Structure 1
Amino acid sequence: CGLRAMEGLICRAFLLFLTALGYSQGRTVVEKKYHWLTEDWGNCYVPQGCGDGTRERSVWCAERQTGKTALEYLCKVSDQPLRTKPCFVACRHHKDHLEWRVGEWGPCLTSDNDVAGGVMERNVTCILTSHDHVLVSMVIDDDNCLVLGKRPESTRDCVLPSRQECVLTEWSSWTPCCDLTQHRTRSVLVAPHYGAQPCPQLSEWRSCDDEDPSCESPSSSTSTRLRVEKWGECRPSWPPPKSQGGADVEEEEDQPRLWDGDFQGHADNYYKHWPQVGTQHRTVTCLDPTGIQVDIRECLSDRGEAGLPMRERACIISQDCAVSEWSEWSVIQEGCIDPNGNEWADITERKREVLRLHEGQGKSCPHLIETKETKANLPLCSHKYRWVTSKWSPCTLPGEMGLVVCGGGLQFRNITCVKAEGGQPLPPKQCQTLPPPPTVQRCEEACPRDCEVSQWAAWGPCKPHPDTCSASNDGPPRPLPRRGIRIRTRTVQVAPSAKGLGCPSLAE
């Protein structure tokens, strides 16, 4: 590095750079060797017994290969998983505000477990609809809703039609060798369905050595040109049926019969419907150098059959989506005006179902659900619904739910939504427009209190006993006794409660 000052500074700086680079690379190697591991989340811990709480789990650093625990600084800090997360435990008064929210079933998909069958899935979540007298829609742990009953199933088996593999045409002939390349194509006859593998590639290219003479520039005065029209409508590949006498049935010529996968002439449902394979055509015209149409054989002589574009191909016949008639309107929510003056609209709904899915270029399915809202002539909510309360429970301790012996506790009661007229029970959400009565209150039970007395007072003076000093009419008075009695007393300072110890003697 030399001995001069400037060279020494440059040398030290270069050595520091190499050291830092080596540390960085070593650190990366160490981080790849170790990774974070976690245990399952623990139970929801709530200090007060119910309400908002936290879950915890163990997180540690370990070697990837052996799984042995390592020092935490060896793992990448930014990848460290969470150790805690918030949770919620429903209180007793939340029971009427819990519900299982169930989504619509999804399509029947192939199952990883059973090749022959399928699986349908839907979302199932536990929802708290009211918290602290405020309407909410809070997703909480499923354990809270188990008081309502078993969790609705989120998966179920379903039957899929037989898997339809992709069906392709044969490869076309290789095109003439132009620009030292050739290509060929094939088309899809039947698309894959119900879990089948996707179709393989539809075109291939390869290099070639001998340039084909037909690849000369089209500007030559002796070359012909092709005019290719758009593909026509996809039509059935077979002719319409004949009558018994051999004459064409005119009504059926424009309405070709299509097989839909069922021997009775109709599919059971849109999952079992078979796509119809048809044929498309397009016009290919041969033009001379001046643009005048000539016989197609002239283009064949210039290019050969392989040089002409495809004039016929397989296709899927278009079928529009078919749906059922609309159902009758059903009431989803009865409208009213709540005590705050807010208007809750009448909501009604009607549905229709898919009878057959669309295919090819057919029209897709329209909407299947319609709703309408009405806010005209709404009654007061208090005239339609009301809350009914039960008696308060005994004073209990939060969390433990044991009876309070003494001190403070909580009392609970149930509330039920009923019709204002007749008192018929209704789901709690029908009364969501009315403020619910409180379902919990504080209570106090007196603790047992023993009697407390003061210290004995001083002994009183010595007095003759009343029995010895009583007068006698039978004879002369009795002489005074040589011994008497003294009395002392004490007072009650704290009176006993009903369940406490009574007071001892107050005099002796």
Structure 2
Amino acid sequence: MDPGVGRSWVPASSSSEDATGVTVGPELCGEPGFPMQLACQVPCWEDCAMSEWGQWMPCSHTCLGGEGSRVGDSATQGRQVRVRAILALPGDGGRQCPDRLGLQEWRPCNQYGCTVHYWHALPWGPCVHEVTQGSPNASQVVADGEAACATGVQMRVLTCVHVGGGQLPTDRCPLSQAPMSRRACLVPCRRDCTLSPFSDWTPCPDPCRQTDGVPTPRQWRFRVVIQRASGGGRPCPKSLSDMRPCPTRPCPQYRWRTYRWGRCHLLASSSARAAGANPGESPCGQGLQTRGVSCHVEGEGHVDPRECLTRAAPMPMLAQPCRVPCASDCALSTWSPWTHCPSHLGCGATQTRRRSLTGRSKRREECKVAHTFPLLESQLCPCNTHTSRPTGPWSDCIVTLGEGRPGDGPAVAGEPECGKGMRLQAVSCYDHEEHLTRPEMCNSPGWREEACEVACPVDCALGEWISWSPCSKSCGAGMSMRSRKIQGAPSHGGRPCPPPHHALQMYEAVPCYSDCALYTWVSDPWEVCSVPLSGMCGEGTQTRTVRCEVQGVEGPGTPVEEVWCDPTERPQDARACVLQCPGACVMSEWGPWTRCPQCQWQLTVTHNRTTHCYGF
């Protein structure tokens, strides 16, 4: 039928289904209980274009009336509304759009009586053992697979309340509808916390290899939880580790020991030259001689030389140049020992040693040249110097009172346990031959000190309490909570944060009771799309009224302040819209999806929308 001709009949499609939703033949269902044809109207292109009716909104009343109300009383009957929107304004001579009431449709709803009084049950209490209940079977278990050692009973409190709020005597609620207030339960067995034995102590670092500034080493041992406590058994300890300072011991003294120089071995180039110059003579010339070096530790003898490389003086030379005399060379005796250094002259004294010409060299003039073959050498006597070196690790920080020096005696009662103090390290004195001597030779008391500080205990720092939260139950008994942030965690043995706490906040809860009135957001239908500039068509804004109402059983909702409703659930009160111009093609919203056929694969479901085209 062409647009605008008049009314036409639209056939309705139907199908027959059984109780499981499977399509069956129409002969099994008989006559349909609904019309197979509905009157409709095909709009003309210049008519007002409107969308399909929307979904029915929630009923204004949850039930029919309250105490004393009568069926048919319009003040206590619920109503539902559904709306439709204007998609495009009419053109010249077209059918006008309906007014605001024409965009709404109402129907009655919730035509059943209200339940004014009802039972409210508090949470179940703990499972309490009752001797009269007897023991459970061996196969009975409680939650998490734990065995039950006894049969007990759980109780909970029942109260009779009014739907609008307030507690009533129990005889006001029907006993036949009262929930169970007592039930049997299984008491879990008492189990203490079971721990594994401690592990071995962790190894201590070598104190003689530590450098300055390293704190006193400690060693640890650990254990693990084999079974956690249950059923009121002894709980597990908070700490599963143990610590102790590493034992201290004196560091051994390492030193190098040298052996006599070996025979001088000619270098290859020097031996060839000498042998070629005077045939028949023994090889002579420049060579190299070596000696053995070993590492010794006091009281233990030979040790790995690598120990002396890190703990003793530099390693002595293992090789030095030498000369194998030729037959034509001047023959000299070996050097005599150095003369004794007089101690009374101090560091300014000298010591000498001598040698002499031997054999035919005594008669050879070229051997008597002093600058070529010196027969006397002198050198400054070694000064009797002493050096000090730190030995071992630093001590723990010692907090002192007044100006007393460390080592003056034991700490007195009342001495502070934190603050600034001193720590000590042993200092050894060595002479020029690396022999350990008295500390006085190095003008040292035998230790050195360094300023330190023992951190004072810091207690848990808490912020201010925030306001109490709303009651957890919107109706009846619940819990209200408040919290405050943990601004600083405890350290160095300070007072811990009071439980219960979680992450960086601690909480406090108190019981509360909320009025059983239901506060809910109610929104009116959307207004017609308002186009601010032309007023005819284009982009605009739709608005609607949103209010908070308290919903009772004895009448419609009563508007209250918005603070009583949850602000996060507040409906939108404005949205953008488009009002199509006359002659444009407009489409309705998508309709619902069609039903998916039963027990068939790879089928497609569809949904439709209506198209209104103008000016074509």
Query: Under TM normalisation by the shorter chain, which class is it?
Result: under 0.3
Question: Which structure's relative contact order is higher, taking Cα pairs within 8 Å and 6+ residues apart?
Answer: 2
| Structure with higher strand content | 2
Computing the radius of gyration from Cα coordinates, the structure with the larger value is: 2
| Structure with higher helix content | 1
Task: Give TM-score, length-normalised by structure 1.
Answer: 0.25
